[in-house]
Structure 1
Amino acid sequence: MKRVLITGAAGFLGSHLCDRFIKEGFYVIGMDNFITGDPKNLAHLENHSNFEFIEHDVTEFVEIEGDLDYILHFASPASPIDYLKIPIQTLKVGSLGTHNLLGLAKAKKARILIASTSEVYGDPLVHPQSEDYYGNVNTIGPRGVYDEAKRFQESITMAYHRFHGLETRIVRIFNTYGPRMRLNDGRVIPAFMGQALRGEDLTVFGDGSQTRSFCYVDDQVEGIYRLLFSDYAYPVNIGNPHEITIREFAEEIIKLTNTSQKVIYKELPVDDPLQRQPDISLAKELLHWEPKVSREQGMKWTFDYFKTLSKEELFESEHKDFKQHIKR
């Protein structure tokens, strides 16, 4: 039985990846320190014979007993609320954490897939964004802690590939949504759905003309899975190219949730990208992949999930106490 280590396993995408690899017959080792992950995302796997969990911070030395065939590095804060509150830890997991896992992959002779992000493109001057675009990132702006962590992550991964001959894969993930997202993590979809369920007006930053492209989690996982088993070492965009303005999306949410809230506007955050749309030509060619789930269907499934949350979860604060995880 092939063995795979998935870091960030208690997160939104990480937990879905655990499910997929178990379904495919792998022995899955999940790793997380719960700085942003949630144990309940893995509760259904607690007694599964092909799953084990290790609570660990990947910025510290990572050791796994026995053979290891694959590593998927998904440990990182991914929402602005999180990485703006824990900027140093965000930089560390992208640098020290990635270094530790690349070293583990080298020692185990394992193939490693690194989760990068569309944020490496910054506020893009090219539209849509293809993998050969180098980006427009403010290195010293507040969002730079996430953007530059991911850009460094790609650089060190390619260095290990070129210098050590390590089997590496890099996925650039565009906006992804679905069940198990944290309701108050600051990203567009859970923010809008949470506000609708609480009877609050929907908050749009800026004038709402900025665009995003949303990919359902099952499609994202399929793309990641295919990339891992491809022969391509360079970055590949995985996302849904169907673009929509935030203002239009807010109206879709109001219609979906059958609520009477109105849209209110607030100042656009610093360096918030005005356009985000993946060019997935490479994924189509290399992986024979493209998204299958329509936004209408995916949003319905996601909203159905959020409706199952308890009143306490629905109204819980977006604040998360990170102090216990911060050592230096």
Structure 2
Amino acid sequence: MKRVLITGVAGFLGSHLADRFIKEGFHVIGMDNLITGDLANIEHLFPLKEFEYYHHDVSKFIHVPGELDYIVHFASPASPIDYLKMPIQTLKVGSLGTHNCLGLAKAKNARIIVASTSEIYGDPTVHPQNEEYWGNVNSVGPRGVYDEAKRFQEAITMAYHTYHGLETRMVRIFNTYGPRMRLNDGRALPAFMGQALRGEDITVFGNGDQTRSFCFVDDLVEGIYRLLMSDYHLPVNIGNPSEITIKEFAEEVIRLTGTSSKIVYKELPKDDPKVRCPDITKAKEILGWEPKIDRAEGLKRTLDYFKNKV
């Protein structure tokens, strides 16, 4: 049985990845320090002999006994509310944490995939964003702690690939949604659904003309898995290119939930991206991947989850 270490395993994406790897016949070693993760996301895995869990901060030295075939490094605060509250931890997990994971991969001769993000592109001047675009990032702005942590993460991963010949993969994740998101994580979808289900007005920042492209978590996990198993070591965008304005998205949530909530507008946060849409040409050509679940279906599945949380 092949063995995979998943960091950030109790998070939204990490827990879904753990499910996928167990389904594929792996022994999963999960690691999380729970600063943003939730054991409820993985409690269904604890009875399984194919799963073990370590409560650990990957910014500190990592020891995993035995052989490892793969490392999936997804530990990091990922929502603005988290990385603005925990800027130092965000920078440390992207730098020290990634360094530790790469060192472990080298010691175990394991292939590693690191979770980068569309935030690499900052407030983009190229649209849609392709992997050759270098971005428009304010390194000293409030979002800089997350953006630069991910940019450093890509740089050190590439250095380990070039200098040590390590088998590395890099996924640039665009907006993703689905069950196990936290209602209070500050991102649009859980915020809108939480407000709608509580009968509150829905808060849109700015005038709502900024765009996002939402990918359902099952599609994202499929793309990540294919990239890890591929032979391609450069960054690959994984996301859904179906673009929508935030105002239109809020209106979709209102219709879906049947709420009488109204939209209220507040000041746009500093450096908030005006557009966000992935060019997934590489994912199609290299991985044979593209999203299958449309937003209407994905939102229904997500709403069913959130109904039990509000």
SS in 2 for 1:64: coil
Structure 1 partner of 2:287? 287
Structure 1 partner of 2:36? 36
Structure 1 partner of 2:230? 230
Structure 1 partner of 2:23? 23
Q: Compute the RMSD of aligned alpha carbons.
A: 0.4
Letter in 2 for 1:54: Y
Structure 1 partner of 2:87? 87
Structure 2 partner of 1:164? 164
SS in 2 for 1:35: coil
What does the per-residue CA deviation read over 1:145-175, in whole Å, with 9 as the maximum and x for residues that have no partner?
Answer: 0000000000000000000000000000000
What does the per-residue CA deviation read over 1:72-116, in whole Å, with 9 as the maximum and x for residues that have no partner?
Answer: 000000000000000000000000000000000000000000000
Matches within 5 A, 1:9-20: 9-20=9-20
What does the per-residue CA deviation read over 1:214-253, in whole Å, with 9 as the maximum and x for residues that have no partner?
Answer: 0000000000000000000000000000000000011000
Question: Structure 2, unaligned stretches of length 5 or more?
Answer: none
Structure 2 partner of 1:297? 297
- Residue 248 (structure 1) aligned with residue 255 (structure 2): no
The 2-side partners of 1:246 and 1:183 are apart by 17
The 2-side partners of 1:62 and 1:120 are apart by 26
Structure 1 partner of 2:117? 117
Structure 2 partner of 1:4? 4
Percent of aligned pairs with the same amino acid:
75
The 2-side partners of 1:199 and 1:308 are apart by 15
Question: Structure 1, unaligned stretches of length 5 or more?
Answer: 315-328
SS in 1 for 2:190: helix
Structure 1 partner of 2:193? 193
Letter in 2 for 1:105: A
SS in 2 for 1:99: helix
Matches within 5 A, 1:193-212: 193-212=193-212
Matches within 5 A, 1:174-193: 174-193=174-193
Letter in 2 for 1:192: F
Structure 1 partner of 2:55? 55
Letter in 2 for 1:153: Q
SS in 2 for 1:58: coil
SS in 1 for 2:59: coil
The 1-side partners of 2:183 and 2:203 are apart by 14
What does the per-residue CA deviation read over 1:150-202, in whole Å, with 9 as the maximum and x for residues that have no partner?
Answer: 00000000000000000000000000000000011000100000000111000
**Cα deviation, residue 120, structure 1:** 0.4
Letter in 2 for 1:152: F
Letter in 1 for 2:117: T
The 2-side partners of 1:109 and 1:4 are apart by 12
Structure 2 partner of 1:152? 152
**Cα deviation, residue 26, structure 1:** 0.2
- Moved segments of 4+, more than 4 Å: none
The 2-side partners of 1:60 and 1:184 are apart by 27
SS in 2 for 1:40: helix
TM-score by length of 1: 0.94
Letter in 1 for 2:168: T
Matches within 5 A, 1:253-272: 253-272=253-272
Structure 2 partner of 1:68? 68
The 1-side partners of 2:28 and 2:240 are apart by 28
Structure 1 partner of 2:217? 217
The 1-side partners of 2:242 and 2:110 are apart by 35
